[in-house]
Structure 1
Amino acid sequence: AAQYAIGLFGNKGFYSVCLKLHVLVIELDYKKKYREHIQEKYQAIKDSNSRLGEHVSLNKRYIELLIVKEHRQQKEKEHEIITRGRRHAELMAQQTSLTKISVLFDPEGDLRSPRTVVLQGAAGIGKTMTARKIMLDWAAGKLYQKYFDYVFYINCRKINCVTAWQSIADLVLNNCPDEKGPIKEIFENPEKLLFIIDGFDEFNSLLDMEEVSLCSDPSEKKPVGIVLCSLLRKKILQKSFLLITTRPTALGKLQKILNCSDEIVGYAEIMGFSGDEREEYFHKFFCDEKKAAQAFNFVKDNEILFTMCFVPIVCWIICRVIKDQMKKGEDLTQTSQTITSVYLLFLTSLTSDHFTDPEHMQTSKSNLEKLCSLAADGILEQKILFEEGDLQKRNLSFSNIQSLFLNESVFQKDVGCESVYSFIHLSFQEFFAALFYLLEEDEETTKKSVTSKRDVSNLLKMYGKESKNNYLMLTVRFLFGLSNKERLNDIEKKLLCKTSPEKKVDLLKWFQAEAKKISCLSYKTYKELCDQIELFHCLYELQEEEFADAAINNFQEIRLEHIRLTTMDEITLSFCVKNCCNKQSLYLCKCILGLPEQKEGWIAKLRKWLFPL
């Protein structure tokens, strides 16, 4: 056969064919090796509630999330979790534009099919989990098989720590089994490559380099920011495909970069769990049908908690708290009524050992206060990533925080990224920030804080400005929730931290002033109607009828027009209506109550609000 081939092609042609076949065999072998490596690397994850060194199967834990193939630009000052919660309720009502990961790319379809897709979503909504699942499913032959020979994962938070100059080839080799691979062969077909760029919002560089400084050669080494920007602007590997995940807060910055190329960009948004997916999550978390059903039924009956469970990490916190309460035999209805109460239970359960041990008491109390100070400064600066210097500034170390929370990842350090830290979720940072404002002043902590002092009035003034700093929205809700008498008592008894009950007077004064301002408006814009509803959410978190009565007294009437009320809105409004003075009136004009599929009519809903059992 060889002699026949030599006769057919000649010696030179024969050896050329053999060489190509040899290269093809090497490529096929390496593709197989790479897929096996990716499967091994991505099949397990560090679960939020696992102990040090423990991992769980990604396939067993992953639950499909709601994704819509469209996006809405978020205003800079909006609170992403609450804003996305309202958006989630609208989508559940409309059931439109739903899509799946498997159809985000279609290289063989329409010529206008995007090569770059932006997948946005709020903090903790499941962007990284989805990115990892794509890697695993591709490697297992379940996703994008016809489209991509290689899929590479780039974590923006981790490459923040890279100081050495890099090339695209280096970033690709970081994904490979032994950091070696047939780079030349891989780059020969860029149209068969997918780069997943995860967490664009966490990349520190401004990425505003001039065109002249960008690189076009995959092997050219430059600062990692320039290399990443070159890939995003398609100055390098122009025919490759990109999937970029980001929080809504960084979408504007990303669009400026992407607009520099002529590429068509597709957008999709992760909206979190549907009701059925929440139930599935509970069953996977508890691994016990009876306990899972008991926990889920409790949360489903508490619509505030059930609604917040659309965010996976919040769902985990709620499950974690309920599991602890079940072990202790506590009454769930008495202890987990609001999201504030759930978060406080979570905190006290994690710190219970340290605050009962006399040897650790004072140190733990000091570390907790310093962590609250760090959280508060971060919220005011809209900062979610902290460096070693931020901790050192407060005489705080990561080992002390780990010790305080018994190795739970409440405040986490990135693996392979020595100097970057974050809270497990933006909402947890906001909770600590609210707690900071209620604790008594500590001279050492105050000196180290940019907030200068725990001035609740100043915080509320910032939040209540005309520009409406809505990024402070959940912090203010938590502030009201933690001001509840029972919760202040828990903070003092279980965390041994002295609180300032007089801060509640500041909250009442601010609320009354805001209520008076809104009541005086003859016409309210949609935004002002939402601001009014947000005030009611604050009262609901506080859960004190006497305070609610005094606060609502400044509303001459409650008037809502042309607005969709989410389930959470209805419950909070119901609480406020029950605490209204007899002289006040409620006007609902062309408002939509609840979701269309709910059988309960609006008359029945109003009756439940006004005449509860």
Structure 2
Amino acid sequence: MYQMKISNPYFVLTAADIIPEIKIINNGQKLEDNLKSYQHNYKDSILAQTRKMGKKMLPGGRQQEEELLVEHYTELRVVTNYQHTEGQIQHEMLVKGQEHEKLMKDSYRNKCERITPSQLFRICSESMTFPRVVLVSGVPGIGKTTMVQKMLYDWIQGDQYKQFSFVFLFKFRDMNLWEEPLNLPEMILKQHSCLRDVIEQILGRPSTVLFMFDGLDESKSPLDFTVNQICSDLRKRTSHVNVVSSLMKQTLMKGCSVIITSRPSALDQMDWSCIHRCTEIMGFLDEDRLKYFKKQFSDSNGALEAFEYVRQNDILYTMCFNPSYCWIICSVLKQHFTGSQNESSSCPKTLTQLFVCFLNNILTNHTLPGSMDLKGLLCKVSHLAFKGVCNKLLVFTDTDLKQQKIECTQARSSFLLEFLVQEESFQRTMYTFLHLTVQECLGALWYFLGSEQNILDILKSEQNQDGRLEILIRFLAGLSHPPTSYPLQKILGPFPVEKQVEILKWLKGLAEYSIKHLAQDSWSEKDKNLDPLKVFHYLFESQNVELIRETVGTLKCFTLENQTLNPVDCYVLNYIIVTSGGITELQLDKTQIPMDGICKLKEAFCLCTSISLKFNNIGDEGAKYLSKAVQSPNSKIQKLE
């Protein structure tokens, strides 16, 4: 992992240059008289679609309603010390959730510079430059699209970004539909024909124009920064990705400003030398999460109880950094913590249980017209979701749906709109799942509803080597547990027993393979995707006590060295060791266990005879938790080092 910093800035300012630039930022650009009316008309033409945002309804509620953006926008945490890992083989949601937990610590938080979207183009204090090209990274559902929409809205209102006379927002999912070669003016006019008479005049002043490109991860074509693809002629027709690359390299419209948003997983193709400021949307910190819960619950006591329940569950609490996850968790917990009866005992504890509750709410509260087959329709949608996960597809068209034999009328039904977000673009309809994890859960559900494909073919495929199937596999493990999947089986009918057996057989073989190689210390680089800790997360989702005891229970010595254990890993490791009945020797040297991780492992420590925690800076608090474990009347600890 390496840290990306501002590099190759467009220009460096002297102190004498800074004051005029700041005046422009505060007071705005001087606009030619003939452009003023065009700017006014342009703002009017995009205001209606910019000022509203779709509001998520609780599962089974009425159709999505549009609400004012300014009323529902939540300020996000943006940090400027963005880090990117080449060739990441772990699921990005898990990686970023772990990194976010670091940000929760005061010592780490102080190292991060927090900025607001309105400060993205402010001067960089170290290099004394005004950045022209800004990257905004963030995992799915974190708020990238909403952020750029709010930026455009603020510009229209004249509240922010006054240094720009014109701001143009492009979405890669829209540009995927443009098959013919286009030049930059044609790209703009394709969306905003009202500027036809003055487009050359607008583009003739690059420093007054901001281009925002949203969703690089949704682009069907990668950015190409090679010399033969970069263009400098406004009139040259080429692919839209080449236009974007050229704007970023500043060979086209030199001096213009560019914002590009993306998931971390799509950034391996990036030419970092042309990025002047790298930022990341971190989502909610602890205090933000509590505020969000209070907004979602009409009953303040219910909100506090639900939040405290989530805080005690590291799996759910780590997920809450993401606004979309936060909404899903709140929508599920409302039925448990609202009203006179508190049903916290039946609350979800695992990722699978949470999403089973979420899907169950939708299925329970929806009735289909007599001609529609609920299970058949859900099977088709689940297959679409599965293919999307395997091929990294997030955006689907009517053609994709027809391939799954989903008719347009079905796709637009209130039932499917609980799963799919529908968006019109250039006379074509596009669909995305409510959230990537909803897509992954449905993808796993397809295996139990209608898949004839052998699970081993899926799990051994090359598609699993970059971590894209990691969450889907957790859902497969969780859905194989009958008590977890029972709410869905009650509605959809029993899952085939052979499917559940096949998953458990594969999971048992995976655990035994992992433990065998762990004992022999014979891990190779290609085995990284099947390391014991990852397998323990699968076993945790399965909640299968017998399986855990048959596999992990045979271990006499468990060694994890030179890995970073976060609180969620410690939470899962504790569950596995306690459920298996204990391990004779536990070696966790050089694992950077945090103090709260020691606390979460306290029960597991008591069931071990020998514990090694060498080269871990557990601190005084961690030592206190260890002392309590040693002094526990049920402790088996004989050796601690």
Distance change >3 Å, CA 498–CA 526, structure 1 → 2: closer
Structure 1 Cα separation of the partners of residues 199 and 361 of structure 2: 50
Structure 2 Cα separation of the partners of residues 56 and 389 of structure 1: 30
Q: Secondary structure at the match of 2:84?
A: coil
Distance change >3 Å, CA 505–CA 525, structure 1 → 2: closer
Superposed displacement of residue 402, structure 1? 4.2
Superposed displacement of residue 550, structure 1? 1.7
Q: How does 1:89-168 map to 2 (within 5 A)?
A: 89-93=101-105, 94-95=108-109, 96-100=111-115, 101-106=117-122, 110=127, 112-145=129-162, 147-163=163-179, 166-168=182-184
Match of residue 25 from structure 2 = none
Q: Secondary structure at the match of 1:403?
A: coil
The one of 360, 375, 394 aligned to 2:385: 375
TM-score (norm 1): 0.82
Structure 2 Cα separation of the partners of residues 213 and 79 of structure 1: 32
Match of residue 561 from structure 1 = 561
Superposed displacement of residue 297, structure 1? 2.5
Query: Which segments of 5 or more consecutive residues in structure 2 lack a partner in the other structure?
Result: 1-29, 600-618, 636-641
Match of residue 250 from structure 1 = 266
Match of residue 81 from structure 1 = 93
Q: Are the equivalent residues in 1 in contact too, given 2:154–2:160 (CA < 8 A)?
A: yes
Structure 2 Cα separation of the partners of residues 278 and 177 of structure 1: 42
Distance change >3 Å, CA 236–CA 514, structure 1 → 2: same
Distance change >3 Å, CA 427–CA 575, structure 1 → 2: same
Q: Are the equivalent residues in 2 in contact too, given 1:152–1:175 (CA < 8 A)?
A: no
Distance change >3 Å, CA 420–CA 579, structure 1 → 2: same
Distance change >3 Å, CA 210–CA 514, structure 1 → 2: closer
The one of 190, 204, 227 aligned to 2:220: 204
Aligned-partner residue type, residue 56 of structure 2: S
Match of residue 308 from structure 2 = 297
Q: What's the CA shift string for 1:198-246, capped at 9, x where partnerless?
A: 1112122344497567654445555544443443343321110101001
RMSD value, Cα = 3.6
Superposed displacement of residue 554, structure 1? 4.1
Q: Are the equivalent residues in 2 in contact too, given 1:593–1:602 (CA < 8 A)?
A: no
Q: Are the equivalent residues in 1 in contact too, given 2:231–2:252 (CA < 8 A)?
A: yes
Match of residue 592 from structure 1 = 592
Match of residue 281 from structure 2 = 270
Q: How does 1:5-404 map to 2 (within 5 A)?
A: 24-32=32-40, 34-35=42-43, 40-49=48-57, 51-52=62-63, 54-69=65-80, 70-93=82-105, 94-95=108-109, 96-100=111-115, 101-106=117-122, 110=127, 112-145=129-162, 147-163=163-179, 166-173=182-189, 178=194, 182-208=198-224, 216-218=232-234, 222-255=238-271, 263=274, 265-326=276-337, 331-354=343-366, 359=370, 363-403=373-413
Stretch of structure 1 that moved more, 237-246 or 63-72: 63-72
Superposed displacement of residue 196, structure 1? 0.9
The one of 423, 431, 442 aligned to 1:414: 423
Superposed displacement of residue 346, structure 1? 0.9
Structure 2 Cα separation of the partners of residues 291 and 526 of structure 1: 47
Distance change >3 Å, CA 498–CA 360, structure 1 → 2: farther
Q: Are the equivalent residues in 2 in contact too, given 1:155–1:197 (CA < 8 A)?
A: yes
Superposed displacement of residue 433, structure 1? 1.8
Q: How does 1:602-613 map to 2 (within 5 A)?
A: 602-603=622-623, 605=625
Q: Are the equivalent residues in 1 in contact too, given 2:57–2:64 (CA < 8 A)?
A: no
Structure 2 Cα separation of the partners of residues 175 and 108 of structure 1: 33
Structure 2 Cα separation of the partners of residues 367 and 611 of structure 1: 56
Q: Are the equivalent residues in 1 in contact too, given 2:595–2:621 (CA < 8 A)?
A: no
Aligned-partner residue type, residue 265 of structure 2: T
Q: Are the equivalent residues in 2 in contact too, given 1:44–1:57 (CA < 8 A)?
A: yes
Structure 1 Cα separation of the partners of residues 543 and 277 of structure 2: 44
Match of residue 601 from structure 1 = 621
Matched pairs, number: 570
Q: Are the equivalent residues in 2 in contact too, given 1:372–1:432 (CA < 8 A)?
A: yes
Match of residue 496 from structure 1 = 493
Structure 1 Cα separation of the partners of residues 389 and 124 of structure 2: 45
Q: Secondary structure at the match of 1:135?
A: helix
The yes-or-no answer on 1:455 pairing with 2:454 is yes
Superposed displacement of residue 510, structure 1? 2.1
Q: What's the CA shift string for 1:435-456, capped at 9, x where partnerless?
A: 22234xx4xxx5xxxxxx3322
Distance change >3 Å, CA 494–CA 326, structure 1 → 2: farther
Stretch of structure 1 that moved more, 65-74 or 282-291: 282-291
Structure 1 Cα separation of the partners of residues 446 and 204 of structure 2: 56
Determine what percentage of the aligned residue pairs are the same residue.
27
Q: Are the equivalent residues in 2 in contact too, given 1:512–1:551 (CA < 8 A)?
A: yes
Superposed displacement of residue 140, structure 1? 3.3
Stretch of structure 1 that moved more, 48-57 or 213-222: 213-222
Q: Secondary structure at the match of 2:469?
A: helix
Match of residue 12 from structure 1 = none
Q: Are the equivalent residues in 2 in contact too, given 1:165–1:221 (CA < 8 A)?
A: yes
Q: Are the equivalent residues in 2 in contact too, given 1:559–1:588 (CA < 8 A)?
A: yes
Aligned-partner residue type, residue 448 of structure 2: L
TM-score (norm 2): 0.79
Distance change >3 Å, CA 234–CA 553, structure 1 → 2: same
Q: Secondary structure at the match of 2:136?
A: strand
Q: Secondary structure at the match of 1:235?
A: coil
Superposed displacement of residue 36, structure 1? 5.7
Query: Which segments of 5 or more consecutive residues in structure 1 lack a partner in the other structure?
Result: 1-21, 447-452
Q: Are the equivalent residues in 2 in contact too, given 1:566–1:594 (CA < 8 A)?
A: yes
Structure 1 Cα separation of the partners of residues 343 and 232 of structure 2: 63
Q: Are the equivalent residues in 2 in contact too, given 1:46–1:54 (CA < 8 A)?
A: yes
Structure 2 Cα separation of the partners of residues 484 and 200 of structure 1: 37
Aligned-partner residue type, residue 267 of structure 1: C
Q: Secondary structure at the match of 2:431?
A: strand
Superposed displacement of residue 158, structure 1? 1.2
Superposed displacement of residue 344, structure 1? 0.7
Distance change >3 Å, CA 345–CA 23, structure 1 → 2: closer
